[in-house]
Amino acid sequence: MIFGFKSDKPARKDPPRESVTGKLRSGLQRTRSVLFSDLQDLLPGRKSIDQNFLDNLEERLISADLGIDATATIINALSSQLKRSEIDQPHILIQTLHAVMLEILKPVDQPLCIPPVTRKPYVVLMVGVNGSGKTTSAGKLANYFLNQGQRVMLAAGDTFRAAAVEQLQAWGERNRIAVIAQQNGADPAAVIYDALQSARARDIDILIADTAGRLHTQGNLMEELKKVRRVITKFDPAITPECLLVIDAGTGQNALTQANQFNQAIGVTGIMLTKLDGTAKGGVIFALAMATGIPIRFIGIGEQIDDLQVFNRSDFVTALLALPE
C-alpha cells in the first residue's frame, strides 16, 4: 500500500546559521541551568577557584547526567590546573571546560555521510525504546534529507502500536513524500522488504524505516528487529543501513544500557539524541560518548519538523557554555 505524493528533487536548502545556533542555545537551556546557573555565586568573595568550587561543580555535572567517567575526566583536568595555579579566574575555567568537553565528544562527532551509492536506496532504520522519538525523528529526517536535495520515502515498520501508521502518514503528508505501509499486525520485515522494492523501482535515494518501540529486555521483540535487519541484507547485500538508535535525553544513565543492548542486537551505527529541549539531563551525551563511542549523528531539540540538527561538538559545547560564537 502506498500513501503519498510524487516528489521531484528539490534544490538544496540549508537553514540560516544564526537560527541553528540560537535554537541550540535555547534547546540546551535546562541542562545549562543545572550546570552553570549562578556559577559566579559559587565564588563568594573569592577571585580564585578552590577545591570547594570544584566539589560543587562535580555535583552539578553528576546532576546533569554526565556520568561518573565524564565527570571525573572534567574534574581531574580542572584539579590539575588548579594545582598548577593556572585557574585564577572564571573565564579560564570556562576555557578549560570547553576544551575538555570538546575532547570527550571528539570521537563521536561523525556526521552521517551518505555514500554516493550506485545502488539505491540508502536505508536509515529508526530503532529504540518506546516513546523515544523514532517516528517524529523519521519525519524530521525526511525533511532534512529533502532539504539536501535527496528523494526520500518512509516505511511504516511499526505495525504494532495503534495509530502508528497514521502518525507516520501525517509526517509523509507534511513532507509531501510517499509512505509504504501495510495493515496493523503485519510482519515489519515484510513491510520493509516491500518498501525497499518500491523505493528501488521509484529511484528513491533514501528510505527511512520506522519501527515499533521495544524494550531492550524484550527478547522476542529484539529478535523481530534482527529479522528486519536481515531482510535488508537479503534484499541487497550491498546495502549497509544506518541503524539509528533514537534515545530520549531525559532517560539519564539508562541511555547507556539501551545503547549497549541495541548495539549487541543489530549493530547500532549512529545515535539520535532527542528531547534535549525538555530535559536538564542533556549531559548524558558525554556519558554516551565515553561509554559507547557510537557516533552521535543528530540531536532533537523540539517537536517541530525543523527541530533536528546535525550533531556538531563545537556548536554543542559552545551553546552549552553559552560562549559567544
**Residue number, 133 or 282, with CB nearest to ligand GTP:** 133
By the rule CB under 6 A, 131 interacts with ligand GTP: yes
* Other CB atoms within 10 Å distance of the CB of residue 289: 26
**Residue number, 81 or 274, with CB nearest to ligand GTP:** 274
Q: Which of 219, 23, 246 is nearest to 139 (CA)?
A: 246
Residue 325 contact, options Mg ion, ligand GTP, none, Cβ 5-8 Å cut-off depending on partner type: none
Q: Which residue is nearest to ligand GTP (CB)?
A: 213
Q: Which of 323, 321, 325, 324 is nearest to 29 (CA)?
A: 321
- Residues binding ligand GTP: what is the number (CB under 6 A)? 21
Cβ–Cβ under 8 Å, residues 52 and 45: no
By the rule CB under 6 A, 7 interacts with ligand GTP: no
Distance CA 276, CA 288 (A): 14
Cβ–Cβ under 8 Å, residues 287 and 124: no
**Residue number, 96 or 251, with CB nearest to ligand GTP:** 251
Q: Which of 157, 282, 283, 302 binds ligand GTP (CB under 6 A)?
A: 302
Residue 275 contact, options Mg ion, ligand GTP, none, Cβ 5-8 Å cut-off depending on partner type: ligand GTP
Torsion angle, CA of 306/111/272/322, rounded to 10 degrees?
-70
**Residue number, 161 or 227, with CB nearest to ligand GTP:** 161
By the rule CB under 6 A, 133 interacts with ligand GTP: yes
Cβ–Cβ under 8 Å, residues 191 and 157: yes
Q: Which stretch binds ligand GTP (CB under 6 A): 17-25, 61-69, 283-291, 301-309?
A: 301-309
Q: Which residues fall within 8 angstroms of residue 322, CB to CB, at 6 or more apart?
A: 25, 32, 36
Query: Which residues inside 238-297 make contact with ligand GTP, applying CB under 6 A?
Result: 274-275, 277-278
Per the structure block, which three cell numbers stand in for 115?
555514500
Residue 211 contact, options ligand GTP, Mg ion, none, Cβ 5-8 Å cut-off depending on partner type: none
- Residues of this chain that interact with ligand GTP (CB under 6 A) are 128, 130-136, 158, 161, 164, 213, 274-275, 277-278, 300-303, 307
